[in-house]
Amino acid sequence: MDVIIENLPLYWNGFLRTLFLSVVSGIIALVLGTLLAAARVSPVAALRGFSTVYVEVLRNTPLTIAFFFAAIVLPRLGVKFEQFEIAAIIALSAYTAAFIAEAVRSGVNSVALGQAEAARSIGMNFGQVLSLIILPQALRTVIPPLINILIALVKNSSVAGAFFVLELFGYGRQMANANGDQVMTVLLGVAFFYLLITIPLGILASTVERKVAIAR
């Protein structure tokens, strides 16, 4: 236990970095994923095609490759970052957005067709139908899968540790190296701090789900 208490400032730093990476990437991924889902159901074929290709490529390749592209290939192409956090945020949000898009699309498909027909028949355009009628109902039904994806995002952020970003897992590795005799304890501490983010996310999910549930 001493090793955890002695290194509490490091843990805390790592915790804050992980929280920061997760919150920023999570918000970007939610917005981007919803836009991708909207593109997927839009009447414009080019948008549908782009969204499909994006989702299939990002969803079906390892996160490490996304990180590699963001942290190593992008700078070679002339995109320079002040900090590697930016690369981590790009990789995490681009990757997670693909999963969000699929979840939101399944939600869109769960909304009865008659809702869109009724909205169109009072003169709404595609954007209004989607933003006022379909998405508000779709998002309500996909809160549990969305939270699953966000929990996965929090854990995936540990990959950033391998790409020059010191977050919770990165600090954990440093501490494990420095305290070779107490690796188990160090890693249990790391796990505890991850749970500090993911468990409340789960609780938040069920609260939100209950609040926004609509009778049909």
Partner 1 sequence: MTTHVPGDALVSLNGVNKHYGQLHVLKDIDLHVRKGEVIVVIGPSGSGKSTLCRAINRLETIEGGTISIDGKVLPEEGKELARLRADVGMVFQSFNLFAHKTILENVTLGPIKVKGISKAQADKEAMALLERVGVGHQAPKLPAQLSGGQQQRVAIARALAMKPKVMLFDEPTSALDPEMINEVLDVMIQLAKEGMTMIVVTHEMGFARKAADRVVFMADGQIVEDAKPEEFFTNPQSNRAKDFLSKLLTH
Contacting residues toward partner 1, per CB under 8 A: 43, 112, 114-115, 117-125, 128, 132-133, 136-137, 140, 214-216
Q: How far is the CB of 109 from partner 1 (least distance, A)?
A: 15
Phi, psi of 122 (to 5 degrees): -95, 15
Residue with smaller CB distance to partner 1, 88 or 119: 119
Phi-psi region of 6 (alpha: psi -120 to 50; beta: other; left: phi over 0): alpha
Residue 68 has which token pair? 């590699």
- How many of the other CB atoms lie within 10 Å of CB of 201? 16
Q: How far apart are CA 204 and CA 210, in angstroms?
A: 10
CB of 202 to partner 1, least distance (A): 24
From the CB of 144, what's the least distance to partner 1, in Å?
18
User: Shortest Cβ distance from residue 17 to partner 1 (Å)?
Assistant: 38
| Nearest CA-CA partner of 89 in 192, 11, 147, 159 | 159
On whether the CB atoms of residues 156 and 96 are closer than 8 A, the answer is yes
Please, which residue, 143 or 151, has the CB nearer to partner 1? 143
Is the Cβ of residue 118 or residue 178 nearer to partner 1 in the bound state?
Answer: 118
Q: Phi and psi (nearest 5°) for 44? A: -90, 115
Tokens of 128: 């209004």
Question: Least Å distance between CB 117 and partner 1?
Answer: 5
Q: CB-wise, 77 or 122, nearer to partner 1?
A: 122
